[in-house]
Amino acid sequence: MSGLRGVIEFLTASGGMHGWAMATAAVVSAAAAVVGSLLVVRRMSLIGDAISHAVLPGIVVGVLLGGRPGGPLATLGAVAAALLTVWLAELLRGKARLSEDAAAGVVFTTLFAAGVALLSAAASRVDVDPGCVLYGMLELVPFDTVELAWLEVPRAFLGGLLVLAGVLAVLWLSWRQQLATAFDADAAAVVGLPAKAMTTGLLCATAVVTVASFEAVGAVIVVAMLVVPAATAELLVATLPRLILVAVGLAVASACSGYAVAWQAETNAAGMIAVMLGVGYAAAVLIAPDGMLARGTASLRLAWRVVCEDVLAEAWRAEEVGAALPASPRGGLAGMLAAWWLTRRGRLLPGGRLSEQGRGQAEMVVRSHRLWETWLGRHVRLPLDHLHPPAEWIEHYLGAEMRQRLEAEMAHTPAGSVAADPHGSTIPPER
Amino acid sequence: MTMLTAVADLLGLSSNTLLVAVAMAAVGMAAGVVGCFSVLRRRALIGDAAAHATLPGVALAFVITGSRGLPVLLIGAVVSAVASMGLLVLLRRFTRTRDDAATAIVIGVSFGMGVALISGLVARGVPGSGGLERFLLGSTASLSAADARLLVIVSLLSTGLVAAFVKEATVVSFDPGFAAAAGWPVWWIDFALVAMTAVMVVAGLPAAGAVLVTALVVIPPVAARQWTDRVGVMLVLAGAFGLVSAVAGVAASAVVPGLATGPMVVLAAAALFAVSLVCAPSRGLLAMALRPRMPLAPPERGGP
């Protein structure tokens, strides 16, 4: 329990500073993850990236007009900047015939540069640190609070909570439409859904989320919070509701762990949160149901089965012609390993002869091989010396049913039933 | 070098300032030229992933070598930029993640990693680590004459390479299918183009910083594209636009104290683009508005 007590102490120390900062990061990340899920499944990640950069001048103008970095004026400015981005990108695509990525590249770098320049020019009048633009000031969030009934709540937390609630409410109300549009925006437009308005709404939501996370993580790292949780969840689950749930879970977990690690390592919390999100994604790439580990073990297992079956079949063929077993099995080291393992499992007897059990398995491999050679010889009319290599591959993949069908089909051809393959070797019967 | 000193005296600048300005001009030019092919190949935002990915490379190079010399840091940046490109290829090959999301992941996570590394170094008071922050938004203030010479050499080499292989790069950019069918090593040409983009992104770091340097390889080519339909002309114009915007931006940030170089370079390039968008002879908005509307041609008789 001392671990739990340690966690509680960490969260409540110095007026709950860490607790509030962590809660702010978690709330903001969760909102970003919800919006990002829609961006990712609609293949709009890069537009989300562009918007999160491009809202900067809007935020700065909002602040210059007397707002706060996360306040309503800044939000308004950011939404205006987001709409401007979309309009400009459309204009460049339509009038200047730029490709989509080039248009986005021109617009968001220009707007971001304008934002930074504006910020530097008005540095004396605005209390926004240019560093804050790039990586946020999560550590300072707990010190800017508002009185809420009996509790001192950080402004950024409250703002994040409101945005999260708003995003969830809109998602709840428009769920069926969102689902249809996310699945196929063109089809949704055809059946009369306001797909274009929904796309614009999604981009505005991206802008709002960026403003809400501005103080916590800045306008650049928010890209990671938008895209990575959803992209990770996409590897793990298959339906949109689950994708959103998993993404939110990942976002909250990364926010909390990233903040804690950053505090331990004395570094920037927003950067560490992004790193944690990246770690989560890398883990998902490895352990997802069709991830690299699963695929790697599947192909290793297949390779192992092929080696084992080759060793058994070789022993069977040696037995068939009464020849002595070769000194070492085929397949080099893997073959020797397979022979050892097969002996342990009772398929081979000590000395390399087949056990009854091993003989059964070997016979089915040889039967598959010879049936296939016969079929190829009769139907594809390959020359005799071309029959062996394909059969050597396919012998590991033919099941009992396939063998029976091959045999049955060939029994009806003029050449008659199959007792021997084209090389004259007997085809063992099915067991 | 004596001529340079003479010119510097004439302009009332220190020869170092002039050399840095020359270097920025060369970098801007080369970035514009190299960027043409990533714009034509519709991979404008690949450079953005490479740009953000330079940051952890810079920080790690500093941690490993303890040197804050520009060549060392830039080598770290090139390594991590190329590694991020490799990572993008791997993600495309081995995961279900789509290209756009993969690019955004590389951008966000690598930038976060760079920020965490640099902040950690600064918080520990590692001497020299504060200077790493200039790679975020760009600053030419601390460039030495040797750094400037290095940047000039890299830029001229890149420009020369593009000039030598214009034909290959053009064919691959416009019709990779044809190039492959004609037996060209499309994969290698593509790889070389992407790698050169990464190198120019890195060379542009002192001028524009990791967040904005992608503009150097996107905006000048896009502006040049407005004026012409010929690759050769586009390359020359993009080089010129890049050169002008880099010099203008560096000069502007030298005049206004406390202003990072990157935003000014980008805004200068954007201004050139805006002029191109409006004034270009056939594609420009003005030309389009003034052009008399053609009546629909009557259908031709006796077609096939």
pLDDT bracket for residue A382 (50, 70, 90): confident
Contact A135, A268 (CB under 8 A): yes
Q: Given this model, what pLDDT does residue B92 score?
A: 85
Q: Give the best residue of B39, B97, B226, B277 to mutate against chain A (max A CB count within 10 A).
A: B97
Taking CA–CA distances from B119, the nearest residue in chain A reads: A267
Chain A window 112-141: which residues touch B at a Cβ cutoff of 8 Å?
Answer: 112-114, 116-117, 120-121, 123, 130-131, 134-135
Q: Which of A151-155, A219-223, B73-77 has the highest mean pLDDT?
A: B73-77
Mean pLDDT, chain A, rounded, equals 87
pLDDT bracket for residue A17 (50, 70, 90): confident
Pick the CATH number of A295-411 from 3.20.10.10, 2.60.40.420, 1.10.10.10, 3.40.630.30: 1.10.10.10
Other C-beta atoms lying within 10 Å of the C-beta of residue B54: 30
Q: What is the mean pLDDT of residues A261-284?
A: 93
Q: What is the mean pLDDT of residues A105-134?
A: 82
pLDDT tens sequence across A288-313: 988 889 999 999 999 999 999 999 99
Q: How far apart are CA A107 and CA B100, in angstroms?
A: 17
Q: Given this model, what pLDDT does residue B74 score?
A: 92
Q: Is A321 helix (H, G, I), strand (E, B) or coil?
A: helix
Q: Domain A2-288: state its class.
A: mainly alpha
Tokens of A152: 């001192």
A318 has a pLDDT exceeding 80: yes
Contact A157, A31 (CB under 8 A): no
Q: How far apart are CA B15 and CA B27, in angstroms?
A: 18
A250 and chain B: CB distance < 8 Å anywhere? no
Tokens of A344: 């342990």
Whole-complex ipTM: 0.88
Q: Do A270 and B270 touch (CB under 8 A)?
A: no
A376 has a pLDDT exceeding 90: no
Cα-Cα-Cα-Cα dihedral of B212, B218, B221, B223, to 10°? -70
Q: How far apart are CA B183 and CA B197, in angstroms?
A: 24
Q: How far apart are CA B219 and CA B132, in angstroms?
A: 26
Distances (CA, A) of A223 to A186, A190, A351, B274: 26, 31, 63, 27
Distances (CA, A) of A248 to A124, A191, B100, B295: 38, 31, 20, 57
Q: Which of A6-15, A329-338, A422-431, B215-224 has the highest mean pLDDT?
A: B215-224
- Report the percent of chain A where pLDDT is more than 90: 33
Residue B281 identity: P
In chain A, where the domains are located: 2-288, 295-411
Q: Given this model, what pLDDT does residue B303 score?
A: 46
A199, A193, A185: which is closest to A89 by C-alpha? A199
A413 has a pLDDT exceeding 70: no
Least trusted range by pLDDT, from A23-32, A80-89, A403-412, B170-179: A403-412
CA distance B106 to chain A (A): 8
Q: How far apart are CA B22 and CA B149, in angstroms?
A: 9
Contact A69, A128 (CB under 8 A): yes
Residues of chain B with pLDDT under 70: 1-5, 8-14, 293-304
Render the burial of B257-285: b for 16+ CB within 10 Å, e for the rest: eebbbbbbbbbbbbbbbeebbeebeebbe
Residue A166 identity: G
Tokens of A371: 């049936």
Q: Are strands A151-154 and A145-148 parallel, antiparallel or unpaired?
A: antiparallel
Q: Is B96 helix (H, G, I), strand (E, B) or coil?
A: coil
Other C-beta atoms lying within 10 Å of the C-beta of residue B220: 33
Q: Is B297 helix (H, G, I), strand (E, B) or coil?
A: coil
A40 and chain B: CB distance < 8 Å anywhere? yes
A198 and chain B: CB distance < 8 Å anywhere? no
Residue B94 identity: F
Contact B278, B157 (CB under 8 A): no
Q: Which of A18-27, A64-73, A417-426 has the highest mean pLDDT?
A: A18-27
Q: How far apart are CA A164 and CA A174, in angstroms?
A: 15
Domains in chain B: ranges and CATH:
13-289 (1.10.3470.10)
**Could you tell me which residue, A137 or B146, shows the higher pLDDT?**
B146
A423 has a pLDDT exceeding 90: no
A98 and chain B: CB distance < 8 Å anywhere? yes
A12, A1, A93: which is closest to A50 by C-alpha? A93
Q: Do A120 and B94 touch (CB under 8 A)?
A: no
CA distance B227 to chain A (A): 11
Distances (CA, A) of A55 to A52, A81, A83, A219, A389: 6, 5, 9, 8, 62
Tokens of A105: 């590249």
Contact A45, B104 (CB under 8 A): yes
3-state secondary structure A371-430: HHHHHHHHHHCCCHHHCHHHHHHHCCCCCHHHHHHHHHHHHCCCCCCCCECCCCCECCCC
Q: How far apart are CA B191 and CA B176, in angstroms?
A: 13
CA atoms within 13 A of residue B112's CA, in its CB half-sphere: 31
Least trusted range by pLDDT, from A70-74, A247-251, A265-269, A337-341: A70-74
Q: What is the mean pLDDT of residues A225-229?
A: 95
Q: What is the mean pLDDT of residues A110-119?
A: 90
Q: Given this model, what pLDDT does residue B10 score?
A: 67
Q: Given this model, what pLDDT does residue A309 score?
A: 92
